[in-house]
Chain A
Amino acid sequence: MVSIFMLWGVTLPGLSYAQNGVPSNPKESTATELRFDELYSKYGVLGLELSSKAKSLAGKSIRVMGYMAPPLKAEAAFFVLMRAPASVCPFCSTDADWPVDIIVVYPRQPGQSLHSATPMAITGRLELGSKIDRETGFVSQVRIVDAELEKLR
């Protein structure tokens, strides 16, 4: 829990790089840029509220920059994208939990694993709404499907 808790909402030098060191509009795509801090318009104790920008992009192609969390398990069809680097796999350490504003990414080609400190850009179709992953039982609210991964450094 600790590491991830510490990271949520924290601007680390690595994240600054991801936000500032990369052109905001990828030349090869018409995807709309969506930043982590644009995902929700309200952070309430009894629930978050999706922003109008996020809602308007549902079903459309978006590009988000973030950090890949260590995979839940090697063969999982998805991975968790976080706003800042994470170090703990919650299925491996009982002290761990994801922050509430994660994005679940289903890559077009699963299996790619990157250093959790490496900023990456994810381009794919935005899906909103509660969904349970059939294999793992993992519940997600925000997903990017058919995703392409791009290492940013």
Chain B
Amino acid sequence: MKRSLFALTSTLLSALLFSTSAFAGAVFPVDRAAILVGSKFDFKVEFDEISDPSNVKVTVNGVDHAKALGKPATFIENEDQLKASSLMLRDVVIAKPGRYEIVASNGKQSMTVNWDVYDTGPRKAKNVILFIGDGMSIANRTAARMLSKGIKEGKYFGKLAFDDMPHMALVGTSGVDSVITDSANSMHAYTTGHKSSVNALGVYVGRGKDNLTHPKVETITEILKRKTKMSVGIVSDAEIQDATPAAMFAHTRRRSDKEIITEQLFFVQPDVILGGGSAYFLPSTTPGSKRKDTNNMVGLFRADGYAVATTKEEMKTVAANSGAKRLLGLFHPENMDGSLDRFYLKKGTVDKYPNQPDLTDMTRAAIEVLSRNKEGFVLMVEAGLIDKFNHPLDWERSVYDTIMLSNAVQIAKDFAAKNNDTLVIVTPDHTHGLSIVGTVDDSKPGTDMRDKVGVYEQAGYPNYPPADANGYPPSVDVSKRLAMFYGNTPDYYETFKPKLDGPFVPALKDEKGNIVANPAYKDVPGAILRTGNLPGIGTRAADQGTHTADDGVLTAIGPGSEQFKGFIDNTEVFRAMVTSLGLGSGQNKVHDRTASALKTPVKPVAPSMTRGTQAATNAPKTRELVKTN
């Protein structure tokens, strides 16, 4: 009793003592971080109040941090006028693997974190191809298999390209701040090996107010460019600045900094860049631009030796040129169109941009260009639209794009099969609350569509036509179709039918700021109002479906794929890739690319254009963007 009273008093006292501070204090990298030996990161300590520098002590395995890490951290007495002190040390590299205990104290507050700095052993794989099915849930895979391969009497007639891989793991996707991740945070884990927070790319989220000053961690693209002669490719059917492709190279606390992310892409210079998002490459004077300045980013890439393609045909021509080693392909000012719209319904923006390649075309072109490098390559391919269509509860479109991902993976598997020196990984970055619950049969009696849903033995099998040569059923509008529903939704009208006139828009914001079901679907025959279970008002009010914390299913083939088994944390995907490539072993010769990148003397036009290139990014700091025509 005495003991519990003491505990209670102590808790109350602590609560009182710390109630004056807005911050709990933090150390970055966070506790239990696993860090690739020789990779760069920014080290930051955030105390919960203004601290006396003479009382501040930070040790690494008992040794003063300045000695242990090679240089002293900068003391920031009153960070961003938040009435709290911080220490920041940029570009830390730990050269020796092992366990590191960091103790930070200001005389009043003491924080301890542990890091595991790991080596990788020798290189096993020449190449790595990482496929991301953005938001790809198990139901996406199952439905894609049903529609693409067919099923009868409980047995499928075939498997998806990523079903048929020897190694599999469940992937946990939660981040530092939340059990629910977004695509920035989750992809960041794959590309840096560190956890972060929602909306963040290449940084831990500290309390700083500037998106670009948070503690950075090195991305796999930067590590490869700094330490090896390997090539890097980034492919997405979303905007190339969107969270998943951006996590390959970007450093910002806010993924919406797309103009800046485009500049960071230019500084990091991946060898192959294919996707949407051209609006952020155009000077503000060009109609269709989303830039606030007049920098012509396409011109800058051209000046640095990139062949530029804006159609599928141009991309193929460039890729076929044996001399082409750098390719920038931009095919849409925003996200590209999905396979259901492109190949069958001709909706979305297909009429305006009829010459877009799909993920298979882009995968083929990227491999063709990248494989010219005898040192090997890392290619990331994102099927970004699986997520873009899961969000507005448009499962048909997301399933067609899951089939497209399978087709793209098959191309990579065929390439890998030639030499067995390529690790191919296919994984979602997070999941959605989607499930297959049965079928919807129009021939069932009644007018209420809900009564046409069949469950258990009443479900039977859908009557989609057999898939065409590309693996897609040529029609999605059939009389007996899958009944698939999302569990986490806003209010919306469930129509039980595919949205043939264009992607679904389930909910809208009314004049009071409330999220309401989109009335455009109210009068669809048989539609019912489904009351949502997500917030309908406030900063995180949901006008669409949201991500879930359910594990993702990863499959892999090739050298190093045996690392994937059981349950893994998403940071271990990075570890498996760098281990396969031997990036911690010192076997990859250090190659300084800075000299070659500085070949063109340039004149600055906009001083702000150097933003976001400091610290853990490896871009030459002296370089500034210049307007070219």
Identify B349's interface contact among A8, A44, A97, CB under 8 A.
A8
Note all chain A residues with C-beta closer than 8 A to B351.
9
Identify A87's interface contact among B256, B282, B353, B505, CB under 8 A.
B505
Residue A49 at the chain B interface, CB threshold 8 Å:
yes
Residue B583 at the chain A interface, CB threshold 8 Å:
no
B391 pairs with A2, CB closer than 8 A = yes
Residue with the greatest number of chain B CB neighbours at <10 A, chosen from A12, A46, A114, A139: A46
Q: Kindly state the separation between the CA atoms of A12 and B518 in the bound complex, as whole angstroms.
A: 10
Residue A117 at the chain B interface, CB threshold 8 Å:
yes
Interface stretch, picked from A19-27, A28-36, A58-66, A88-96, is A88-96
Interface stretch, picked from B99-107, B330-338, B448-456, is B330-338
Note all chain B residues with C-beta closer than 8 A to A13.
520-521, 523
Note all chain A residues with C-beta closer than 8 A to B292.
132, 137, 139
Residue A85 at the chain B interface, CB threshold 8 Å:
yes
* Interface residues in A109-140 (C-beta closer than 8 Å to B): 113-117, 130, 132, 137, 139
B504 pairs with A6, CB closer than 8 A = yes
Beyond A5-B388, A45-B332, is A116–B510 a contact (Cβ under 8 Å)? Answer: yes
Main secondary structure of the interface of A (DSSP, over half): loop
* Interface residues in B275-297 (C-beta closer than 8 Å to A): 278-279, 281-282, 284-292
B289 pairs with A139, CB closer than 8 A = yes
Note all chain B residues with C-beta closer than 8 A to A149.
none
Note all chain B residues with C-beta closer than 8 A to A14.
519-520
A45 pairs with B278, CB closer than 8 A = yes
A48 pairs with B288, CB closer than 8 A = yes
Residue A3 at the chain B interface, CB threshold 8 Å:
yes
A85 pairs with B505, CB closer than 8 A = yes
Residue with the greatest number of chain B CB neighbours at <10 A, chosen from A3, A14, A98: A3
Beyond A6-B392, A88-B543, is A46–B501 a contact (Cβ under 8 Å)? Answer: no
Residue A57 at the chain B interface, CB threshold 8 Å:
no
Q: Beta-carbon contacts of B459-491 to A below 8 Å, as 1s and 0s?
A: 000000000000000000000000000000000
B282 pairs with A97, CB closer than 8 A = no
The number of inter-chain residue pairs (CB within 8 angstroms) is 159
Q: Beta-carbon contacts of B498-532 to A below 8 Å, as 1s and 0s?
A: 00011111011111010110111101000000000
A116 pairs with B509, CB closer than 8 A = yes
Note all chain A residues with C-beta closer than 8 A to B519.
14, 117
Q: Kindly state the separation between the CA atoms of A116 and B515 in the bound complex, as whole angstroms.
A: 10
A1 pairs with B242, CB closer than 8 A = yes
Residue A100 at the chain B interface, CB threshold 8 Å:
yes
Q: Beta-carbon contacts of B321-341 to A below 8 Å, as 1s and 0s?
A: 000000000111111000000
Beyond A9-B349, A100-B334, A130-B284, is A3–B511 a contact (Cβ under 8 Å)? Answer: no
Residue B255 at the chain A interface, CB threshold 8 Å:
yes
Identify B310's interface contact among A40, A45, A84, CB under 8 A.
A45
Min C-beta distance of A15 to chain B, whole Å: 8
Beyond A1-B242, A13-B520, A46-B282, is A99–B334 a contact (Cβ under 8 Å)? Answer: yes
Residue with the greatest number of chain A CB neighbours at <10 A, chosen from B331, B394, B513: B513
Residue A11 at the chain B interface, CB threshold 8 Å:
yes
Note all chain B residues with C-beta closer than 8 A to A85.
505, 508, 518, 520
Task: Tell me the count of chain B residues lying within 8 A, CB to CB, of chain A.
Answer: 61
Min C-beta distance of B628 to chain A, whole Å: 14
B520 pairs with A117, CB closer than 8 A = yes
Instruction: Name B502's closest neighbour in chain A (CB-CB).
Output: A10
Note all chain B residues with C-beta closer than 8 A to A46.
278, 281-282, 286, 298, 310, 330
Note all chain B residues with C-beta closer than 8 A to A1.
239, 242, 334-335, 388
Min C-beta distance of B44 to chain A, whole Å: 23
Instruction: Name A85's closest neighbour in chain B (CB-CB).
Output: B508
B520 pairs with A50, CB closer than 8 A = no
Q: Kindly state the separation between the CA atoms of A42 and B247 in the bound complex, as whole angstroms.
A: 32
Identify A12's interface contact among B279, B505, B544, CB under 8 A.
B505
B287 pairs with A113, CB closer than 8 A = no
Residue B316 at the chain A interface, CB threshold 8 Å:
no
Identify A9's interface contact among B330, B352, B504, CB under 8 A.
B352
Note all chain B residues with C-beta closer than 8 A to A48.
287-288, 333
Residue B588 at the chain A interface, CB threshold 8 Å:
no
Residue with the greatest number of chain A CB neighbours at <10 A, chosen from B199, B335, B353: B335
Instruction: Name B387's closest neighbour in chain A (CB-CB).
Output: A2
Q: Kindly state the separation between the CA atoms of A2 and B254 in the bound complex, as whole angstroms.
A: 17
Note all chain B residues with C-beta closer than 8 A to A47.
282, 286-289
Offer 22 A-B interface pairs, CB within 8 angstroms, sorted by A.
A1-B242, A2-B391, A7-B505, A9-B347, A10-B502, A11-B501, A14-B520, A45-B331, A45-B333, A46-B310, A46-B330, A50-B287, A86-B508, A89-B509, A97-B256, A97-B334, A100-B288, A100-B334, A113-B511, A117-B510, A130-B286, A139-B291
Interface residues of A (CB under 8 A from B): 1-3, 5-14, 40, 43-50, 70, 84-90, 92, 94-101, 113-117, 130, 132, 137, 139, 141-142
